[in-house]
Structure 1
Amino acid sequence: MVEKAVSYSPLRISFGGGGTDISPFPEKYGGSVVNTTIDRGVMAKYVPDQYGLEISSRDFLRSFVLNESPGSKDLLNKILGLFEMNGIIKGRVVLNGDVPPGSGLGSSSALITSLLNLIHYIKHEKRTWRELADEAFRLERDYFGVILGKQDPYAISLGGFKHMSFNRDIIDVTSLNQYSEFIEDIEKRTLLLYTGKTRESSNVLKEQVARSSQGDERTLINLKEMRKIADEMKLCASMGNSDRFIELINYGWEIKKNFGENVSNKTIDGIIEKGLSSGAQGAKLMGGGSQGFILMIAKKGEIENLQKEMMSFSDLVIRVNYDYEGIRIF
């Protein structure tokens, strides 16, 4: 019998290029992103016992037991079905996340990769990080019905600070971890602010996907510009140019707001505006848009003051470190 095990997937911050990894754009024009994983994540713990499989989640405050509600489309019951399809029908699976689901930090992909990693561990199957990401992407899209880009499962499975390019089915990853002085400068100024609400990213992304599929000229121009931003960010990392890197974060956010009416709102705009006048050098909303976490990069020496100032806008304003391991079992 498999011993108790915990699968952990880090969450990710996308600095630039988000949206260029979402079909059909990368298949036609090629996509490019820069991201890093962080020291917040999603854990899936398996505890073996002789009873019917139980799935529970602290985040949803829900639990399901095998065959309790057949046919249910509830996320936890679909997860239960995933384990059953893989022949795992006894024991307990406990899910815990460091941030609320749907918060723009890749939590959906972190959950799926963590579950898959746990399933393969229980079945004594080995997978490379790329094989795991391939499987997670297809599962999230086809089984869980999520509209997503290819960035998240690959970024999370590998971990680290990196540039990723997408050309049809080819995904190239260039690690930027060697530029340690540049990364440490950005890292120690990184702040995440939770807006107090989450959203279903698929709903926000539908408008972008529709426009891209229809060949909308303005959308394609914006996506190509986002791709250029990510490519320049890669160059900034190699040259140690953090000021330009942060300028590109702001520029990318201005472009992203053109992707749809629901990308931003008065509340998000107000928080970002206040942050930029209170010690932030750069700021953008993470994920598809509308709600979730706002990324802020403080001016040098200002992160403590910025954090205190932004606490009046949110109950969760956190400093983070970057993660270089990716998914793991312990």
Structure 2
Amino acid sequence: MIITRTPFRVSFCGGGSDLASFYEQHGGCVLSSSINKYMYISVHPYFDEKYTSLKYSENELVDDLSKIKHRILNSVLNQRKLSGVEISSTADVPAGTGLGSSSTFTVGLLHAIYSYKGQYVSKATLAEEACEVEINRLGAPIGKQDQYAAAFGGLNFIRFKRNGSTSVEPIMMKPETYNKLQNNLIMFYTGTSRSANTILSEQKNNISQQETTKNLQQMCTLAEEMKAALQEDDLSSFGEILNRGWLLKKTLASGISNPDIDHAYDVAMENGALGGKLLGAGGGGFFLFYCEPHNQEKLRTAIGLKKMDFKLEYDGSSVVHVGDKYWN
């Protein structure tokens, strides 16, 4: 048996500029970090090699790979002609909550299959192939940041170049600044999940509008400012940049926010938060706020939402178990 562990991510600034319709014209960038919440994927030979068993939120048992209902599993297993296995996935957080679950699943699945076949794979290759599966083969209206965050891990500035290439630059900062940043971040679950595709499809269509393009360019500028502040060990402007980025993000598509979300955000800002945002495409999922520790209990009480403890992490997608088996 092979088991991979692949992290979810939080994106601080620049989300939306990783859509090809934007970065191919203007270039894009995102500042994000992986966190210690994970997707686990296991691959094991199935007892009856005529069948392939798949266990995720549903169970599938098929005698023909073309019958697989799960689109990502269908695409990856058919492309690699891998059958006669049992594949299971378990996640620390549910899908549709803004932490990049679909891409985390894809990266972890590819890593598990490479390892099951006894093949080494680089983090860059994992990210690139996950983008190929989700964006090019399955036509998902998503960007590229989640795949790179899941594969590489760590706190990174990710740049999306006009020629389609991507670079990942780790943020270098003093350990005490890193720890302070981590301690000043607090996350709450809104209680609702959503499909990102509807929001992202509208956002993708809106990129042709001058105002949307302008706002995305401003978000990239903010991401550059945030990167510079962290590298200079200056957290004084971090919350302010988060807030400015959120106000811009809300303009990109109609479903990103709603009155309930706006109210919760206003309550947070009135009770100690210095800035924040909804993670992922928006519409629900997790709120991330920058709030100094002495105000966090006040914020938690006022907002009245479920708090999720987390830490930033370094590793990216990793193989955490290799059992005894022959290599295919």
**2:279 aligned with 1:283:** no
**2:193 aligned with 1:194:** no
CA positional deviation for 1:87: 3.2
Q: How many pairs does the alignment contain?
A: 317
Q: What is aligned with 1:53?
A: 52
Q: What is aligned with 1:67?
A: 63
Letter in 2 for 1:34: L
CA deviation vs aligned residue, 1:273-330 (integer Å, no higher than 9, x gap): 11122222221111111111111121242224433443x3x3x311210010100011
CA positional deviation for 1:219: 0.8
From 280, 296, 320, the equivalent of 2:310 is 320
1:29 and 1:78 map into 2 onto residues whose CA distance is 30
From 203, 227, 230, the equivalent of 2:223 is 230
2:217 and 2:256 map into 1 onto residues whose CA distance is 18
Report the CA distance shift for 1:117/1:130 in structure 2 as closer, same or farther (over 3 A).
same
Letter in 2 for 1:211: N
Aligned CA-pair RMSD: 1.8
CA positional deviation for 1:107: 0.9
CA positional deviation for 1:35: 0.5
From 174, 177, 189, the equivalent of 1:179 is 174
Letter in 2 for 1:89: S
> Could you state the TM-score of these two structures normalised by the residue count of structure 1?
0.91
Provide structure 2 residue ranges, at least 5 long, that are not aligned to the other structure: 321-328
Report the CA distance shift for 1:54/1:308 in structure 2 as closer, same or farther (over 3 A).
farther
2:168 and 2:217 map into 1 onto residues whose CA distance is 19
Letter in 2 for 1:87: K
Report the CA distance shift for 1:150/1:85 in structure 2 as closer, same or farther (over 3 A).
closer
Letter in 1 for 2:36: D
Give the secondary structure class of the aligned counterpart of 2:237.
Answer: helix
Report the CA distance shift for 1:202/1:81 in structure 2 as closer, same or farther (over 3 A).
closer
| Preserved contact between residue 163 and residue 174 of structure 1 (Cα < 8 Å) | yes
CA positional deviation for 1:164: 1.3
Q: What is aligned with 1:272?
A: 265
| Percentage of identical aligned residues | 27
Give the secondary structure class of the aligned counterpart of 1:263.
Answer: coil
Letter in 1 for 2:113: I
Q: What is aligned with 1:87?
A: 81
Provide structure 1 residue ranges, at least 5 long, that are not aligned to the other structure: none
Give the secondary structure class of the aligned counterpart of 1:96.
Answer: strand
| Preserved contact between residue 65 and residue 74 of structure 2 (Cα < 8 Å) | no
Q: What is aligned with 2:319?
A: 329
Q: What is aligned with 1:303?
A: 296
2:117 and 2:80 map into 1 onto residues whose CA distance is 8
